Each structure stands twice: as structure tokens, then as C-alpha cells.
Structure 1
Amino acid sequence: MHDLRVTQEAHTRHPFYRHLYFQVLVAIIIGALLGHFNPGLGEQMKPLGDAFIKLVKMIIAPVIFLTIVTGLSGMGTLRGVGSVVTKAFGYFLFFSTLALIVGLIVASVVQPGAGMNIDPATLDAKAVATYAEKAHESTLTGFLMDIIPTTLTSAFNQGNILQVLFVAILFGISVILVGERAKPVVDLCESASNILFKFVAILMKAAPIGAFGAFAFTIGKYGIGSIINLAMLVGTFYLTAAIFVVVILGAVCALNGFSIFKLIAYLKAELLLVLGTSSSESALPALMEKMEHAGCARPVVGLVVPTGYSFNLDGTNIYMTLAALFIAQATNTDLSLGDQILLLLVAMLSSKGAAGVTGAGFITLAATLSVVPSVPVAGMALILGVDRFMSECRSLTNFIGNAVATVVVSRWEGKLDTERLHKVLGGHELHLPHHKDKAAPAAPAE
């Protein structure tokens, strides 16, 4: 367990302004005001947000690698690794599909695009051409092949999460097979991991600056007023995502003995950071550490969180089916039940094929519509202007979904310290700055 000061000044005696969540919240508000009242200057703040995200991405690959290697070494057997992976992917498949279905149902009932009467011939197809090209490049086969890095080190050079995950799992399995002779390497990884998370703590000091720059740019470039014309779509998406988190994920949390609201409160600093930067990757290292701090076993955290960032995208899936039906309704395109089922099936595949690609939500939508001929791909031009605002909601929902998945899979594995989880979520944080266990203490499944 690493020092939890990485993600927030956890000591309750610290004044409120020392807490990361407060600093990020103030930064977002100042950024929004600057972008609204001085759009030109707000747009110029973009490098601040980009620089912070680059800083975090710089550290993601080694964090994932070291967490997985040290975690798997503590499992001792390959059977445990296979069990975690099987349960995690079962969870991902079920809830990703459920998210697609929820988006489909809500769009059919609310019909946010009805009455717009847009002629597809009048739409600017060039505006979405780049996304459509990327979608064609992101085939399922290509995605699977891309998991294998060109060389052992290229995964780290390119920052591809799935490639790092692939190398880390193979390395961790090799450590298990070698056994006691690998102990010096494991000890080295453990020491490097402690240093690395202190490195992350230093980087997180810049989080308010990054959130300020990213949010100032978003409001300055697109303007809050740009969402008015498509307020029905944006509002429907945010409401649907909220219902999915509170009702569906909330029920999952309740069945597994904890509260979704307490989990969200525990992750408030990271959620504000995701909101400010419109990127869930900006909080990935912090999420891994806080899940381990909350009692989830390190091997489970190391496997579930990085994998979930590509395969457990609840917010992106809701967006895809909701946006696809919005375009169909806005362009008066009738979709039969068969068309909607085809849309659902294609979305299930395309959401995996473009995982990990920058702008994945919009690209996966392009990939889906290009296979479902009934809905005009050019219709994506309708939502291009507000996609940035919906990107924030996608990232938030994806982030919460992966946090829930980590706790649930840990519990299914019998490797969740439930007593610690309840204390941490209840606000009684435990400080173990030099805790060196390779996995959180296992507690019997409730």
C-alpha cells in the first residue's frame, strides 16, 4: 500500500483548502469563468491541460507494470490469475452490454432527436471524415493484433495500456513460475513501485493547473451556449448516465455490501479531475492506489483497472446507442426492431475495437454507423459541436464503473478487506504510508 497523499491530503486535520478536491473544484470554476468571459484567452490555456495529461500518461505504463508484477507475485499460483481475469471479463461483458441496452431504451422512449427534421444531404460529411477513417482503421482484428507490442520495450515507449498490460501479465506469470529465485526482482519492483507512487504524488500537485487549463479551453472554444440547440440530447445523456450509476451500479454496490454514494464521495478528487480534464486516464494511477487503499487486493486492482479502461466503458456504450438513435430521429430515419438489434450487436464489437483510441467515444460511434447502413454517418456532424461536453460525462461514468468493478471482483475473489473498505468509505481513513504487503488482506466473501 502506498502513501495515500498521492491523491489527496488525507489527514483530516488539514484545512479544507489543502485538499486536492477543493483545489481542483476552484480551478474548474475559475477556468469556466475565464473561458466564458474571455474565450480567446481561455482557448490559449489549452497547453496547461494537455501538459498535465501528458505528465500523467508518462507515468501510467510503469505504474501498471509494477502494480501487476508485484501483485501477481503475491498470488503464488496461475489459477488465481485465471480466476480474476475470468470474473473481470464476465463482469465487463454483462454491464457493457447492459449500458448499450439502457441507451437504446432511453433514446426510444425520450426521442431527443424527434422533430428536428434534418435533411442528411445538407450535413457536412467532411466534418466527420477524419473520425470515420480512424473507425475503419480500428477493426476488431486490428485491435487484437495491436495488443502485442513490436518489441518488449515498445509498449512502454508508445504508452499503449493494453500492450503494457499484456507484457506485465506475461512477466508476472513468469515470476510465479520461476518461484523463489525471482524474489530479488520482486523486491526491486516493490521498491521501484514505492518510489514511483511518490513520483505520482508530486505530479498530482499540478492537477488544479491542468484542470483549469483544460476547462478554460473547453468553455472558451465551444461556449456554454453551444449546447442549447442540442440540450435535449446532452440532458438526456447526462440523466441516463446518472440513472445508470445511481440505480444499476448502485444496486450492484448494495448487493456487495457498500454504498455507491460513499464510493463517489471517496473518489471526489479524482472525479473532479476527470471532469476538468475530460479524460479518465488523468486519474488512472490515483484510482489504482485508492482502490488498494480501500481494501482491494493489489493483483485484482492491477488486472481489473487497466483492463476496464478498455473493456468496461459504460459511459461510452450508453453514448453510442443514444447518439445513434438521436441521429436517426433527427434525420427522420426509421429503424426497425431488426435495425436496432443490429445496431446493438455492432456496437458491442466496435466498442472493443476502438478501445484505447483518442476520442474513442466519437470514433466507436463512427465505426458503428458505418456498419449499420440505415443511419447516415454524416449525421454525426449534428453532435460534433457538443461531443466535448458529453465526453466529460462519458469519462465520469467509465471511471465510476471501473471503481465499482474493482471492488466487486475483489469481493467475488474473496480478496476484499470489507472491514477496511467500510472504514475508508465511512471517512475513517487508515494511514499505512510504508505498507509493503503485496496484496490487501483477504477477507471471506460476505
Structure 2
Amino acid sequence: MAFAVGKYGVSSLTSMGGLIALFYVTSILFVVVVLGSVMAFLKLNIFTMIRHFKEEYLIILGTSTAEPALPGLMRKLEHAGVKKETVGLVVPTGYSFNLDGAAIYLSLAAVYIAQATNTHLSIGQQLGLIAVMLLTSKGAAGVAGGGFIALTATLATIGTIPAAGIMLIFGIDKFMSECRALVNFTGNAVATLFIAWWDRTLDADRVRRVFAGELVEPIQVAEVPAPAAAVEPFQPADRRPAYSESI
């Protein structure tokens, strides 16, 4: 950020703030409108689902990646009535190929860098760039900052936008990584529910009751083995030779 301010002036902070705000607004609209429409089609509520996964969202906010929340997502979806086979197939696959937040981030960041470096892009180039970014987001690493690395590799490969311009958003990538991971997580949860409906194994009534908190997930307590019986310490027998007392 200091490099950007020193080279392009204080006005660059305003543009960076605009990029962050635009990314957050776009992500919120995507979750509420697009994913919310899918949930409404399933006769479910997107907001009750978000509330149900509040612990996982807190983990994502603390780590800037959705990977640590994977076990909780799978466990809660199975408790909601989704088949274990469906969860085991869709969720891990979605973590690599259904990265909605990364796709939004890559497209907005690439256009921002093009504007910042005064690189003219025609409508065809912009559409082609978006198409490439949608493909690049598939299979991106699920670690924190994986989207930034994917953006760097993509710009270097395309060549239309200077790859060195990636440093303009390096300082603010941390502020967008949490939102990126949250959208990825939410998209995978909705996708799993939709695939379960497609497979005709989704019990929407049970899912609604679980998301509303009416069916609480049982707490699994590990059984502690009973302590072994105390063993008396080994005491060697008295080996002194027996003798008779003489009178």
C-alpha cells in the first residue's frame, strides 16, 4: 500500500477502498440473490442456513480460508439429512471446482488492475478475461491467499494486463480473502443441498427443522476406558534357608 500511495498518490487509497466495497457488495448480492434463489427453489431459507453454520463462519473469519471448516460442514449436512455419499462427493469436489468467491474476486481484481495501469480492454477482451478467470478459479488452492496466487499466474499467462500491477492490490488482498472464503463456503453448502434434491434424497422438512434449531445435533462424547485394577508391586519371596531352632 505504501508503494501504491508513493507512486500513484493518495487518491489510490480511494480506488482501493472502492474495490473492496464493490467486492463485498457483489459477494453479498450473489449470496442473497443467486444462492438465495436456489435455496428458495428448494423451499429453504438462506439466512437460517447461515445462522446454522455460524461456528464455521467464525473459523473462516479467523483463518481466511474455508479449509478448516470442511469437517463441520460435512458433519452438519449429514445431520440435516443429506446422504453421507452425497456429502462425501460434492463437498470435497466443490472445494476445488465450486469457488464462487474466487471467481468474483479474480474478475473484479483483473479489471481494476487494467484500469489502474491504463490498459484498454475491449468488450471482447473483457468477456474473454472473465471466461478465463472463471476457469482459473477452478482447482485453485484452498489455502489463505490462494486466489491472489491464481490471479498472478493468470495475468502472467494472458499477457494483456501487466502482471506487475498485481502489487497494487497486494496490500488489500487480506481484506478480501475472508469474504472470498465465506462465499466459497456458502456456495458449497447450497450446492450440496441442491445435488441432494436433484438425487431425490433431500428431506426439506428435516433440513428446515435442523436449520431452525429444532433438531439439535447430539454431542458425541468419547468413551473413556475404565482404569485398570491396581497391581500390587512385586515382592520377592524370602529365600533365606529355613532352620530349626535348637533347644
**TM-score over 0.5 for the pair:** yes
How far apart in 2 are the matches of 1:431 and 1:251? 27
Could you tell me which of 167, 182, 188 is aligned with 1:402? 188
After TM superposition, the score normalised by the length of structure 2 is 0.80
> 1:321 — aligned with what?
107
Seen in structure 2, the aligned counterparts of structure 1 residues 236 and 295 have a Cα distance that, compared at 3 Å, is same
- Shift of the alpha carbon at 1:229? 6.2
CA offsets per residue over residues 120-171 of structure 1, 9 Å max, x none?
xx69xxxxxxxxxxxxxxxxxxxxxxxxxxxxxxxxxxxxxxxxxxxxxxxx
Q: Within the alignment, does 1:344 sit opposite 2:130 as a pair?
A: yes
Query: What percent of counterpart residues are identical?
Result: 52
Seen in structure 2, the aligned counterparts of structure 1 residues 296 and 353 have a Cα distance that, compared at 3 Å, is closer
AA paired with 1:254?
A
Gaps spanning 5+ residues in structure 1: where?
Answer: 1-117, 124-225, 435-446
8 A contact 2:155–2:163 mirrored in 1: yes
Q: Within the alignment, does 1:425 sit opposite 2:177 as a pair?
A: no
- Shift of the alpha carbon at 1:327? 0.6
Could you tell me which of 143, 168, 186 is aligned with 1:382? 168
> 1:61 — aligned with what?
none
Q: Within the alignment, does 1:334 sit opposite 2:109 as a pair?
A: no
8 A contact 1:350–1:367 mirrored in 2: no
> 1:359 — aligned with what?
145
> 2:52 — aligned with what?
266
Shifted more, 315-324 versus 342-351: the winner is 342-351
Seen in structure 2, the aligned counterparts of structure 1 residues 227 and 256 have a Cα distance that, compared at 3 Å, is farther
Q: Within the alignment, does 1:233 sit opposite 2:19 as a pair?
A: yes
- Structure 1 residues 45-64: aligned runs within 5 Å: none
AA paired with 1:296?
V
> 1:250 — aligned with what?
36
Counterpart of 2:138 in 1: which secondary structure? Answer: helix
- Shift of the alpha carbon at 1:241? 0.3
> 1:3 — aligned with what?
none
How far apart in 1 are the matches of 2:13 and 2:92? 32
CA offsets per residue over residues 353-393 of structure 1, 9 Å max, x none?
53446632011111221232221111110000010111011
Counterpart of 1:343 in 2: which secondary structure? Answer: helix
Q: In terms of Rg, which structure is larger?
A: 2
Could you tell me which of 66, 69, 81 is aligned with 1:280? 66
Seen in structure 2, the aligned counterparts of structure 1 residues 228 and 273 have a Cα distance that, compared at 3 Å, is farther
- Shift of the alpha carbon at 1:414? 1.1
Seen in structure 2, the aligned counterparts of structure 1 residues 397 and 373 have a Cα distance that, compared at 3 Å, is same
**Greater share of residues in helix:** 1
How far apart in 2 are the matches of 1:431 and 1:369? 45
> 2:97 — aligned with what?
311
How far apart in 1 are the matches of 2:158 and 2:60? 32
How far apart in 2 are the matches of 1:343 and 1:419? 42
How far apart in 2 are the matches of 1:330 and 1:431? 50
- Structure 1 residues 89-104: aligned runs within 5 Å: none
RMSD of equivalent CA atoms: 2.1
CA offsets per residue over residues 411-434 of structure 1, 9 Å max, x none?
111111222101111221244557
Gaps spanning 5+ residues in structure 2: where?
Answer: 221-247
How far apart in 1 are the matches of 2:139 and 2:191? 21
After TM superposition, the score normalised by the length of structure 1 is 0.45
Q: Within the alignment, does 1:293 sit opposite 2:48 as a pair?
A: no
8 A contact 2:101–2:180 mirrored in 1: yes
